[in-house]
């Protein structure tokens, strides 16, 4: 019973340390009860130790995953169940792997392995086909962003490292207390824990209060049309959507407006790329832009491209039962006074909604399980490079981040390396209703601002649209489920942060260490 209580406690501590409702200090002790359970089982004489550890770990992580991400069920129950149960299973496997190493290595080596293995797992979640980095530990400080201003040097993996260091130190303190039963002998360990906990916060607060945002000021408007994606979005012609957006824009626009931003796939009635120029809604937008010659209009749009040459069929191309192939795109489009239409195609896709993972293996086994959230049910086609949109203002270059892409730190740095000095996030968070989903998604945008030191304009279909500065402050916002337009001023930045230049270097070092420890340890005889 004690093991069950400790496992539940770990799950609750991790869950109630999570944004946007939680207090992240709980993350620093969240793994301790579970580590104590693993140690007790490892040193005991019970049978089926690995299965016991897996069961208790799985319980902890299901609690954490369910409380923090159960809002996925409002889009799709199967998708939510899969994400929660499978992600919890993978996390539990990490603890079992640590258990195997702990039997063969010293305490410090095995705990170092666990910390590095966890970061390797988080890095995997940023790159593989079943990508789901929502619960990467570094994301847990997004509401307490004044604590992690040093993310401009480390990215979110600096936060993961911080969480694990404190958990390990507290765990070792607990084990030491169990042996000594004396508080006096624990003072030095307690001082070290406080130092590791508090010093990064002090450094961050110093950075926050001394950092100066410098650059050219640009005037922006974020549109929030508040369209119901389940009953309205895919049934309204693009021409009517254009009229709505322009009416909203008229409430805020002036001669000094540089950038107008509309949400992801707001033009949801699939447009053939080759026929874009002749589309009636596009002509309406062109007229509006011509009436405001300084304006740059960035909007989300759904494209389709029919493939006439079979040699051009890609892995992400879709086969229609009528006998033809086509590419389906979730894209960002930039219009301005120039004749060039700039496009970017979303490249970090939502599993099961926009992409079928490992389709050559999975599709023959279980068929096509793509989740229908309205519109065209098809795999999206991506592009290799991040695109920085150029504008009529020579001082403004915009990185168009589409929805889920904003969760990926190193991915977003690609826009900066390609010249973006302001970031625009276009998204549609309406699938989850008024839950933690859209709140967490907005909160994570703060992390991208700090990592890259770029101001962000965020246009969300149903909200929350916001303007975020390079320190992570939300300068202004529109409430959820509200139609409107948000105007304000952003500041450009031409400098690259260390993280923008180096990326997830902490994770890469962790992968090397974890692999090294695993290889030299697993062939040893168990110590206990």
Look at residue 502 in the predicted model and tell me its pLDDT.
97
Range of lowest pLDDT (67-76, 223-232, 453-462, 506-515): 223-232
Name every residue whose Cβ is closer than 8 Å to that of residue 402 and which is 6 or more positions away in sequence: 264, 300, 330, 331, 332, 344, 346, 425, 426, 427
Is the pLDDT at 182 greater than 70, yes or no?
no
Alpha carbon distance 371, 356 (integer Å): 10
Q: Which of 344, 306, 353, 298 is nearest to 328 (CA)?
A: 306
96, 58 contact by CB (below 8 A): no
Percent pLDDT > 70 in the chain is: 93
Task: Note the pLDDT tens digit of each residue in 64-119.
Answer: 999 999 998 887 888 889 899 999 999 999 999 999 999 999 999 999 999 999 99
Of residues 45 and 475, more confidently modeled: 475
Burial class (CB in 10 A: 0-12, 13-18, 19+), 395: middle
Q: Which position has the higher pLDDT, 325 or 363?
A: 325
**Among the listed residues 264, 217, 18, the one whose alpha carbon sits nearest the alpha carbon of residue 136:** 18
- In 18-106, alpha helices (H): 32-42, 49-69, 77-102
224 neighbors 484 (Cβ within 8 angstroms): yes
Model pLDDT, residue 372: 46
Contact criterion met (CB below 8 Å) for 135 and 122: no
Distance, CA of 272 to CA of 305 (rounded, Å): 6
**pLDDT at position 377:** 57
Query: In this predicted model, which residue has the larger pLDDT, 160 or 128?
Result: 160
Helix (H) or strand (E) holding 138: none
pLDDT at residue 310, rounded to an integer: 75
Return the pLDDT at 307: 85
CB within 8 Å of 159: residues ≥ 6 apart: 137, 138, 139, 140, 141, 148, 151
Ranking 6-10, 138-142, 225-229, 507-511 by mean pLDDT, the lowest is: 225-229
Q: Percentage of the chain surpassing pLDDT 90? A: 74
Q: Assess contact for 221 and 252: CB atoms under 8 A.
A: yes
Q: Which residue has the higher pLDDT, 184 or 473?
A: 473
pLDDT at 376 over 50: no
Whether the full predicted model's pTM is greater than 0.85, yes or no, is yes
Residue 375 binned pLDDT confidence (cut-offs 50, 70, 90): very low
- pLDDT tens-digit readout, 263-310: 999 998 888 888 898 899 999 999 999 999 999 999 999 998 888 777
Please give the pLDDT value at position 32.
98
Contact (Cβ atoms closer than 8 angstroms) between residue 506 and residue 464: no
Handedness of CA 295, 296, 300, 303 (dihedral sign): positive
Domain ranges of the chain: 2-211+504-521, 217-493
Please state, in angstroms and rounded to a whole number, the distance separating the CA atoms of residues 246 and 427. 18
Cβ(249)–Cβ(260) below 8 Å: yes
pLDDT grade, residue 398 (50/70/90)?
Answer: very high
Instruction: At 523, list the tokens.
Output: 């062939």
Tell me the β-bridge partners of 484: 224
**Strand blocks (E) in 212-295:** 217-224, 257-261, 267-272
Distance CA 381, CA 253 (A): 34
- Helix, strand, coil percentages in the chain from 3-state DSSP, rounded to 5: 50, 15, 30
Min mean pLDDT across 153-162, 212-221, 266-275, 339-348 is at 266-275
Give me the mean pLDDT over the 388-402 stretch. 96
Omega before residue 165 within 30° of 0, cis:
no
Residue 342 has pLDDT above 80, yes or no: yes
Q: What is the mean pLDDT of residues 171-185?
A: 80
Rounded Cα–Cα distance for residues 87 and 91 (Å): 6
**Predicted confidence band at 334 (pLDDT cuts at 50, 70, 90)?**
very high
Phi then psi for residue 140, to 5 deg, are: -65, -10
The whole-number pLDDT of residue 361 equals 62
Q: Give the pLDDT band (50/70/90) at residue 485.
A: very high
Euclidean distance between the first and final Cα of the chain, in Å? 24
CA–CA distance, 175 with 340 (Å, rounded to integer):
65
Q: Are 18 and 134 in contact (CB under 8 A)?
A: no
Q: Is 390 a residue whose pLDDT tops 90?
A: yes
CA pair distance 522, 118, nearest whole angstrom: 18
> If you ran DSSP here, which 8-state letter would residue 471 be given?
T
The secondary structure element, H or E, covering residue 72 is: none
Distance CA 421, CA 454 (A): 6
Is omega for the bond preceding 464 within 30 degrees of 0, making it cis?
A: yes
**Predicted local confidence at residue 432, as pLDDT:** 84
pLDDT at 228 over 90: no
For residues 41 and 264, give the distance between their C-alpha atoms in angstroms, rounded to a whole number: 50
Cβ atoms < 10 Å from Cβ of 229: 19
pLDDT number for residue 526:
65
DSSP secondary structure letter of residue 426: E
Computed on alpha carbons and rounded to an integer, the radius of gyration of the chain in Å comes to: 25
Its CATH architecture, for the domain 217-493, is: 4-Layer Sandwich (3.60)
Measure Cα distances from 31 to 159, 187, 189, 314, 513 in Å: 15, 22, 18, 43, 21
Give 444 or 433, the one with higher predicted confidence: 444
pLDDT band at 364 (very low <50, low <70, confident <90, very high): low
- Please give the structure tokens belonging to residue 34: 């579970």
At 353, the pLDDT band (50, 70, 90 cuts) reads confident
pLDDT value of residue 362: 56
Nearest to 331 by CA among 301, 308, 352: 301
């Amino acid at each position: 019973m004690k093991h069950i209580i400790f496992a539940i406690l770990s799950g609750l501590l991790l869950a109630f340390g999570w944004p946007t409702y939680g207090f992240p200090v709980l993350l620093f002790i969240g793994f301790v009860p579970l580590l104590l359970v693993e140690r007790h089982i490892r040193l005991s004489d019970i049978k089926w130790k690995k299965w016991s550890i897996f069961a208790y770990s799985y319980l902890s992580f299901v609690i954490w995953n369910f409380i923090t991400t159960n809002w996925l069920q409002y889009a799709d129950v199967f998708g939510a169940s899969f994400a929660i149960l499978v992600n919890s299973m993978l996390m539990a496997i990490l603890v079992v792997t640590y258990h195997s190493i702990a039997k063969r290595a010293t305490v410090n080596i095995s705990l170092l392995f666990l910390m590095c293995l966890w970061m390797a797992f988080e890095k995997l979640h940023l790159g593989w086909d079943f990508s789901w980095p929502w619960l990467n530990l570094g994301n847990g400080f997004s509401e307490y962003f004044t604590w992690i201003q040093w993310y401009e040097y480390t990215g979110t993996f600096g936060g993961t490292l911080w969480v694990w260091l404190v958990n390990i130190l507290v765990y070792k303190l607990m084990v030491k207390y169990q042996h000594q039963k004396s508080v006096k002998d624990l003072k030095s360990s307690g001082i070290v824990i406080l130092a590791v906990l508090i010093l990064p916060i002090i450094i961050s607060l110093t950075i926050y209060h001394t950092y100066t945002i410098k650059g050219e000021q640009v005037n922006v408007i974020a549109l929030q049309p508040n369209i119901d994606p389940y009953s309205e979005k895919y049934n309204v012609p693009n021409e009517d959507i254009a009229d709505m957006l322009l009416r909203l824009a008229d409430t805020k626009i002036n001669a000094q407006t540089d950038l107008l931003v509309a949400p992801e796939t707001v033009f949801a009635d699939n447009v053939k790329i080759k026929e874009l120029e002749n589309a009636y809604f596009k002509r309406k937008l062109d007229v509006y832009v011509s009436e405001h010659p300084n304006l740059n209009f960035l909007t989300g749009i759904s494209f389709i491209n029919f493939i006439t040459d079979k040699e051009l069929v890609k892995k992400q191309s879709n086969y229609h039962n009528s006998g033809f192939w086509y590419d389906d795109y979730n894209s960002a489009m930039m219009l301005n006074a120039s004749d060039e239409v700039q496009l970017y195609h979303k490249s970090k896709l939502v599993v099961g909604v926009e992409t079928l993972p490992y389709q050559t293996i999975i599709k023959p086994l279980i068929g096509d399980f793509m989740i229908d959230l309205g519109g065209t049910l098809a795999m999206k086609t991506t592009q290799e490079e991040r695109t920085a949109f150029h504008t009529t203002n020579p001082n403004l270059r915009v990185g168009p981040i589409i929805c889920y892409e904003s969760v990926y730190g190193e991915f977003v740095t690609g826009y900066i390396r390609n010249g973006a000095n302001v970031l625009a996030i276009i998204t549609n968070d309406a699938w989850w209703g008024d839950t933690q989903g859209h709140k967490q998604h907005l909160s994570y945008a703060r992390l991208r601002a700090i990592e890259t030191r770029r101001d962000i304009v965020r246009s969300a279909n149903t909200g929350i649209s916001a303007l975020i500065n390079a320190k992570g402050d939300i300068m202004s916002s529109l409430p959820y489920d509200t139609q409107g337009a948000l105007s304000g001023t952003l500041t450009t930045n031409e400098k690259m942060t260390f993280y923008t230049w180096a990326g997830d270097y902490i994770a890469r070092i962790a992968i090397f260490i974890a692999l090294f420890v695993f290889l030299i340890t697993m062939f040893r005889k168990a110590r206990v």
